[in-house]
Structure 1
Amino acid sequence: MTYDIAIVGAGIAGASLAAKLAPHARVLIVEGESTPGYHATGRSAAFWSETYGGPAIQPLTTASGPALRAGGFLEPLGSLHIGRAADAAAIDAFMAEFAGSAVPLERVDPAAAVPGLRPEWTLGVLEPSCAYIDVAALHAATLATARRHGAPLVTGAALHAAERQDGRWRLETGAGAFDAEILVNAAGAWADTVAQAAGVAPIGIRAYRRTIAQLRTDPAPPPGMPHVADISGHFYFKPEAGGRLWLSPHDETLVDPHDVAPEELDVAVAIDRFEHVVDWQVAAVERRWAGLRSFAPDRLPVYGFDASVPGFFWCAGQGGFGIQTAPAAAMLAASVLLERAPAAAIAGIDPAAYAPSRLRT
């Protein structure tokens, strides 16, 4: 069987795109791991924030909100961006960046939302729309939709090589050979590796390690406490079920794509920064993990056909915002790939901003 479209990668990017394409084409999803979403998707910090990723990402995040709410994937959380007196310019710049958007932001006293906040943290901006996101349920739902429309998922199918002849691709994978007219590269941190296997020039997708630790603290996070983020980008933490806290040092360590593990130093740095924010005690580190975030050189995602190789479509570079933008990103990528008018939800988003051709100059 020759498929219309073969998608390499079954994380949230590939799965969401497959769900949008499968009603209109014969779609195959091939995944190198034995479980889809093993790397970035399965290790997400699991929150939806319209400001996360910056103004160029915000339209995709905001446009994804209605679909995520309708699917029951979001729960109220709120986000508090905090700073000290020296961070006043950063707070002002943050407010200015989103002044023309629909994102609700309000200057507040951070001490009112975070008991035990150390007195030097005097600046606060509340983003009430921030929400928990059920990543596992969203990912499962997209795969189920793709499967319901006839798109098989083949795991253990790492791409070894791909060659285009007579207008179609022959994919050689760990699970056998497959043919498709269009090859979609949704391989996350491995996107450049997949491109090279297909004879396509890489575009500079780089992988970065991000660390998260689950803590038990004294006191436990109070009910209703929001996600808390340093305006200068040195930490964030948020309450979790059972009175636990998820904490990240907001690290970005350049690495080769692999099954990353947390470094003890990064966990220690996170705890040290946390203890300079609140007067809580860290009673225990219950879990720690690390995930991969992958970026193009300009830190914007890449959606579109490669200008040099026919039938090769990029769906990569989603950084740390791939899950929160997944519905809108899939709609946008599907409209470009199928050459159809965009859905109403993304009608105001220009796909040219994310085209791979911008990285070929």
Structure 2
Amino acid sequence: MTPILPPFPHSRLRRLRRTPALRDLAQENRLSVKDLIWPIFITDVAGADVEVPSMPGVFRHTLEGAVRAAEGAARLGIPAICLFPYTDPAVKTEGCEEAWNPENITNRVIRAIKAAVPEIAIMTDIALDPYNANGHDGLVRDGEIINDETVECLVRMAIAQADAGADILGPSDMMDGRIGAMRAALEASGHRDVTILSYAAKYASGFYGPFRDAVGASGALKGDKKTYQMNPANADEAIRLVARDLAEGADMVMVKPGMPYLDICRRVKDQFGVPTYAYQVSGEYAMAMAAVQNGWLDHDQIMMESLMSFRRAGCDGVLTYFAPKAAKLLANL
């Protein structure tokens, strides 16, 4: 697009910014409650349903609390929630067997929410780190994260979540070949309508620290995740990964983290034109809240400005811990 502008004073670009009505008419992007997915933390560990210290205003929920949260989200018009479990360390193993237990906390919460709030979409996380004694997203053997055996575990996890009633599966592990394996297994098991929102471009980022506290993975993690999550310096690689996951059967794709990678969001949307999402991760939220609590920034203004940045970058929606507060502000509640 090449703008055609007459010379000043015939062209005065401030004219369209003069009043609220003119600014509304000229606004290029809109933010709606329908663009929000709310990530919530769930637990069945006694005493763990407390505020996450590094994420002010974010709590872990019991099964009953998760149902109440889903009911509240539905009343606000939020279309989807995403579940992340804080697992009892006693059930974490090197084989991660709890990940596909039909009675683990995630699968029980899925069933409970579907019974109480059937209209809300439930997204899940597919990665082994909440169940792994080593804290990694995949199985660990002699210090190496094993790809193919991990994919087999992830498929079992995906089927268990689909059986429980999940609407959207979110593979966040970054193993090679997992989307194709999951899609084939879902088709074979009668879950042909279950959606896959692939974390296709997930970076080995320093912005995940508070999240790992929230799910209890920080202390267990041995080493780092750089052999399977992406190098923050790479952009073309993200495009190759997105193309691969779409070719294997992903319905939607995710970029994670969010604001530091808006350039990737824009490239993905422009190149593929598929439903594209970003995750405004725990570190982004924690930084914003720290500045707000110190009186340096205005909470509502930066919340809405940050969420609009995702829409401007081409995202169809965003996972954000701000979802309930943003929904209330959008509805003038």
- Name the structure with the higher helix share: 2
- Name the structure with the higher strand share: 1
**What band does the TM-score fall into relative to the shorter chain?**
under 0.3
TM-score by length of 1: 0.26
Q: Whose RCO is larger (CA < 8 A, sep 6+)? A: 1
TM-score by length of 2: 0.28
